[in-house]
Every structure is written in structure tokens, then in C-alpha cells.
Amino acid sequence: MKSSKRQCIRYVSPVPATAKQGTETRNGVEASIWTERMLAALANGVKGGKWFSLIDKVVRLQTLEIAWRKVAANKGAAGVDGQSIDRFANKASVYLQELADSLKAGTYCPQPVKRVEIPKGPGKKRPLGIPVVKDRIVQTALKLVIEPIYENVFDESSYGFRPGRGCKDALREVDLLIKEGLTHVVDADLSSYFDTIPHDRLMALVEERISDGRVLDLLRGFLKQDIISGLERWTPMGGTPQGAVISPLLANLYLHPLDSLMRSKGYRMVRYADDCAPRRREKEAVM
């Protein structure tokens, strides 16, 4: 479906930026974002099982500064606006303040995602989405705030794109299961997984734990970002771009019910993204 419509996030944040805190990590999350009180709520549960007030932490200048440092460390190509990491770095403090102001004022508008094709295997390619630097920063800030909520419930069988986990850990688990005598293996490769996730079902899973409407609007805006490939431009009806900062978390969330179902049925599953090889794939080995 072709479109030139830009998806804008419009809200006004009623919460001002707070005083600066430390930027150390605590229990694997940013201490300046996830306070002791929030961690206690994460461990003990929140009222109704849903989180309501999160957007003020996303739009806070300090959160955006932390996000920028992570984006800068990851390098990456410029998006459709042509702005590189180095160019952003030259005026980072100015750009970050502008970004914080636009988020709070409700005028922040994600730009289209640049799509390129990269080698996938012999004679094959896969699409990679490249958001602009500012959108990568906002997505990283959003991820810093909401990821601990979902990491707290993700299954132990899930290894792909998770903090402190990787495919080598998954392969060690597979090796352990084989040594335990589970030698009948089903190896499944999810084809075009990122590009085929239904938006409505994905957002329903997000909303099971987050009720902050402004955070939800932000996520919907990123899912509906226009895609530009050469001279073509369209609005996606499904999927989340490979290459977008928030995509791995959303991809894991969509498969979480599968992880839980397989465990409830007594199957030993190891699900991971094959990021040890040039080709990154979502794979599942079901014992």
C-alpha cells in the first residue's frame, strides 16, 4: 500500500524533567531510569498487572543522553535524512535538547525508514531497515524504559536478542539437552519473521502490561513508519523493520506465547537468533 503519510506522535507530557541521577546499572537496567521503587514494583507486581506512567522517563533529557551514547557506540549508516553519527555528534547537545522538547510538546514525528538489501546467502538477500539517528535514539530510550517489564516475564528458553544472552548460550543449552538424552530434534527456521508480524496482535501483547497511552502511541508510530526503497515509498501494514532498535524486543514479545505454550506442553525448546553467523535467523530447536 503506497503512501506518503508521516506517522506523528502527538501528546503533551505533564511531567517535567527530573533532577539528574547516576547512570550506573542496577540489576542489569539503567539505575537513572529504573529506580529502586520501580524495581521493587517489577519484582512484586504492579496494580492490575499494568504499568501506567512511563512516558516521562522516555522523554527525559537524561534518558535521551544515555540512549544517544548507545546509538553512537553501535555506529550504523545514515537514514533517509543523510545525517551520520559523526554529524549528529558535532551538535549532540543541541539536537538532544530539541528532541526532548519536541517529544514533550507532542510535535515529534518519526521519519521514514530507509530500506536496503543485504546478502543473506547464495543468490539471496534480506531487507534491512535504517531509521534516522534521531529515531534510533528515541527507540533506544523507549527500549531502556520498557524492556525490563517484558524481560521479567520472558521464558528461559528464549535466547535471541536478549540482554546478557546470545546464540552461544543457546548452543550450550542444546548441547546440555542432548547430553541429557533428548536426541530427537525439530529444527525450524522462521522465514521473513520480522516482516510478517501482525501489528494488531503485537500491540495487544504490548497492552497486556503497558497502559500508558503515550508510550503505546509511540510504538504504533514506529510500526507505521513509512519505508523508502529507491524511488518507492509505502506504509507497512505489518511487520517491524529489521535494523530498528525496538524490533528485536517486539519480535521476542510476539513469540513469548509460543515459548510459554511449548513449556506448558512439556517440550524443551531453545529459541534463538543465529547472530553468530553472517545470516541472522530466528531458529527454534524443539526437543
pLDDT value at residue 16 = 34
**Mean pLDDT throughout 38-46?**
88
User: Which secondary structure element, helix H or strand E, spans residue 252, and what is its range?
Assistant: helix 247-264
pLDDT for residue 147 is more than 90: yes
pLDDT for residue 61 is more than 90: yes
Q: Using CA atoms, how far apart are residues 151 and 137, in angstroms rounded to an integer? A: 21
- For residue 122, the number of C-alpha atoms closer than 13 Å in the C-beta half-sphere is 0
Of 18 and 121, the one with more pLDDT: 121
**Mean pLDDT throughout 112-121?**
89
- Determine how β-strand 113-121 pairs with β-strand 124-130: antiparallel
pLDDT value at residue 29 = 78
pLDDT for residue 3 is more than 60: no
pLDDT for residue 2 is more than 80: no
% of the chain beyond a pLDDT of 70: 85
**What integer best gives the mean pLDDT of the chain?**
86
pLDDT value at residue 8 = 52
Q: Residue 240's Cα: distance from chain center in Å? A: 9
**Mean pLDDT throughout 105-119?**
93
Q: Using CA atoms, how far apart are residues 98 and 214, in angstroms rounded to an integer? A: 19
pLDDT for residue 11 is more than 80: no
pLDDT value at residue 187 = 86
**Are 76 and 85 contacting, i.e. CB atoms less than 8 angstroms apart?**
yes
pLDDT value at residue 191 = 83
**Mean pLDDT throughout 205-231?**
96
pLDDT value at residue 222 = 97
pLDDT value at residue 275 = 54
pLDDT value at residue 121 = 73
